[in-house]
Amino acid sequence: MTSCHNAVSLHEARKVAIFGGTHGNEMSGVTLVNLWTNNGAEIQRTGLTTKPFITNPRAVEKCTRYIDTDLNRAFTSENLSAPRSEDLPYEVRRAQEINQMFGPKGSPEAYDVIFDLHNTTSNMGCTLILESSKDHFILQMVNYIKRAIAPASCSLLLYEHPILQYATSRSIAKHPIGLEVGPQPQGVLRSNIFESMRVIVKHGLDFIELFNGGMEFPPCTVDVYRVSESMDYPRDTNGNIIAMIHPDLQDCDWEPLNPGDPMFQTFDGRTIFYEGSTVYPTFINEAAYYEKQQAFVMTKRETLVANGVKASKI
Amino acid sequence: MTSCHNAVSLHEARKVAIFGGTHGNEMSGVTLVNLWTNNGAEIQRTGLTTKPFITNPRAVEKCTRYIDTDLNRAFTSENLSAPRSEDLPYEVRRAQEINQMFGPKGSPEAYDVIFDLHNTTSNMGCTLILESSKDHFILQMVNYIKRAIAPASCSLLLYEHPILQYATSRSIAKHPIGLEVGPQPQGVLRSNIFESMRVIVKHGLDFIELFNGGMEFPPCTVDVYRVSESMDYPRDTNGNIIAMIHPDLQDCDWEPLNPGDPMFQTFDGRTIFYEGSTVYPTFINEAAYYEKQQAFVMTKRETLVANGVKASKI
Ligand SMILES: [Zn+2]
Ligand SMILES: [Zn+2]
């Protein structure tokens, strides 16, 4: 219950949603949301309403990432403002529905916080994905979560990039936050991954409850990995992949990749080395990113400063 | 080059196929078959013709297990003898085509050996799947492979069960053999899994070359895990899964499961213990088996005796 002099007043966060099944084969979020839909006691907190919600039910039913197009890239202003039509891809229609229910994106009526639950086949551990380096509410929340789960750890990935940032499901909230937990294969539920995700959501809700209850959170710093670039697999002239992630890089998410380090291994046994300045790769060998032509995402480390925050009682 | 007195004479094995993509999202086999289709030098052996073949190209293109139905369950005599029709599920039509090319199943024209390449999300390591305890050619081959890859290891799974055995793609060959290598998520290619599979296929082909070349293989014994039963996830009265593989069992394929050992963990935190005699579980938490209502497959250890074999020169 620290008090401080330079806390910024922010609106209370009363409307909270937890999205699962934005990708229908990422089972931790699907299972948690279904569980909490049946019995919400675990996610109830004083002073807020928390709505668990399956965003892509048809993909969940088929246990596939999506039906027509990636829902987690579908929340563009173009899609959201398109005239309603049965000819639109399923996920675009669904994005419009979700935007009506939890947005509209950018409006005062939008939900305050949306937790969006994802799994990855990459060895990323627990990762919180931020969409803005200037959302001090979220910066304070992730700082709170990191402290609460210690000595377990949690990486912070900042997707704030002119090209690589994408229009997520959660982006309709005032304060969007993604959870990405792995490694877990698509279509599989692993108890360790499931429990890690569950604990993080619970701490996130605790933070909101404390914030709404009047607690001031003093200024702090948070260390993030900022997405800087994406790396494709080596390909032949026909566009076919000719190499795999090198065994020395596989599963080494968040570890430094230095110039001269092995990066790919071609099918005929050659090693391709990394050239360039030191980066911290993540989403290494994520199943869903083959079609996005991403072997991994490169990040740079950075320390962000969060203002102190407190709830304004208007 | 051992000689022995009780070697059984068997036909030479001249026609060999390597199937990949029987499940379209199992990337090691898909990648190896595509590689060998472009350049077959690695799988050429004296005295045999080896055909690499993508069995379910539409599923491979969509990177999904199957289109309409599981191809690796489709090679029943009922399906194979069904009148050709566009109304049949895609995989049934495909099974008929494959049976024409590599069978017909049970006929003298059928291929001698089919290697069928699979991946699993389970921590099974390298596994060779046998369909008969009496196929002495295959027993000798797996014995040869096990010795060739030592000190690396390879488990032998015997799917010879009145109910649980199923009509595989490879079952149209005189000597079917499945390779199952994991853990690897669906849609992902891991270099370690890829290379393990590649080495096993190469030793298998070496065995056939030696056999055709006149080498006698003396009687031997092979230790197998025989499939005895299948275990479903705990479910509520609506059929919904209410528990996960227990963390003490997760990734422990081939290790003994004794009465009283933890088996499942319910979403509300209870442990469900195993009751029954000691078994050796495998396919633990395989993604594709949720829909088949299998949390894992139980096996019993058994030692098989293989006759000595040699090729008859007819
Ligand atoms: Zn996802
Ligand atoms: Zn398979």
User: A31 CA distance to ligand 1 centroid (A)?
Assistant: 14
Residue A122 and residue A202 share a domain: yes
Residues of A with CB under 8 A from a CB of B: 31, 34-35, 63-64, 121, 183, 185-192, 194, 240, 244-247, 250, 265, 267, 285-288, 290-291
Range of the domain at B255: 231-296
Residue B212 and residue B263 share a domain: no
Residue B245 and residue B207 share a domain: no
Question: How does pLDDT run across B10-26, given as a tens digit for each residue?
Answer: 999 999 999 999 999 99
Q: How far apart are CA B141 and CA B204, in angstroms?
A: 6
Q: How many CB atoms lie within 10 A of CB A81?
A: 10
Tokens of A270: 């050659």
- Is the C-alpha dihedral spanning B207, B209, B212, B213 positive or negative? negative
Residue B151 and residue B13 share a domain: yes
Q: Check if B180 is active-site.
A: yes
Residue B245 and residue B148 share a domain: no
Instruction: Choose the closest CB to B287 out of A186, A286, A290.
Output: A186
Residue A215 and residue A109 share a domain: yes
Question: How many domains does one find in chain B?
Answer: 2
Q: Which residues of B touch A245 (CB under 8 A)?
A: 190-191
Give the 3-state secondary structure of residue B186. coil
- DSSP assignment letter at B290: T
Residue B213 and residue B136 share a domain: yes
Catalytic residues of A: 180
Residue A183 and residue A47 share a domain: yes
Distance from CA of B180 to the nearest CA of A (A): 16
Tokens of B126: 């390298």
Would residue B220 count as lying in a domain? yes
Residues 6+ apart with CB under 8 A from A20: A29, A30, A31, A32, A33, A34, A52, A53, A54, A55, A117
Q: Which residues of B touch A31 (CB under 8 A)?
A: 267
Instruction: Choose the closest CB to B191 out of A121, A191, A246.
Output: A246
Q: Tens of pLDDT along chain A (314 residues)?
A: 344 457 899 999 999 999 999 999 999 999 999 999 999 999 999 999 999 999 999 999 999 999 999 999 999 999 999 999 999 999 999 999 999 999 999 999 999 999 999 999 999 999 999 999 999 999 999 999 999 999 999 999 999 988 888 899 999 999 999 999 999 999 999 999 999 999 999 999 999 999 999 999 999 999 999 999 999 999 999 999 999 999 999 999 999 999 999 999 999 999 999 999 999 999 999 999 999 999 999 999 999 999 999 999 75
User: A224 CA distance to ligand 1 centroid (A)?
Assistant: 20
Instruction: Choose the closest CB to B187 out of A188, A191, A287.
Output: A287
Question: How does pLDDT run across A2-37, given as a tens digit for each residue?
Answer: 444 578 999 999 999 999 999 999 999 999 999 999
Contact A182, A119 (CB under 8 A): yes
Q: How far apart are CA B228 and CA A63, in angstroms?
A: 29
Would residue B2 count as lying in a domain? no
Residue B132 and residue B62 share a domain: yes
Residue B291 and residue B193 share a domain: no
Residue B266 and residue B216 share a domain: no
Q: How far apart are CA B194 and CA B188, in angstroms?
A: 10
Would residue A2 count as lying in a domain? no
Would residue A1 count as lying in a domain? no
Distance from CA of A79 to the nearest CA of B (A): 25
Residue A73 and residue A220 share a domain: yes
CATH of the domain at A115: 3.40.630.10
- DSSP assignment letter at A137: H
> Which residue in B91, B131, B180, B286 is the catalytic one?
B180
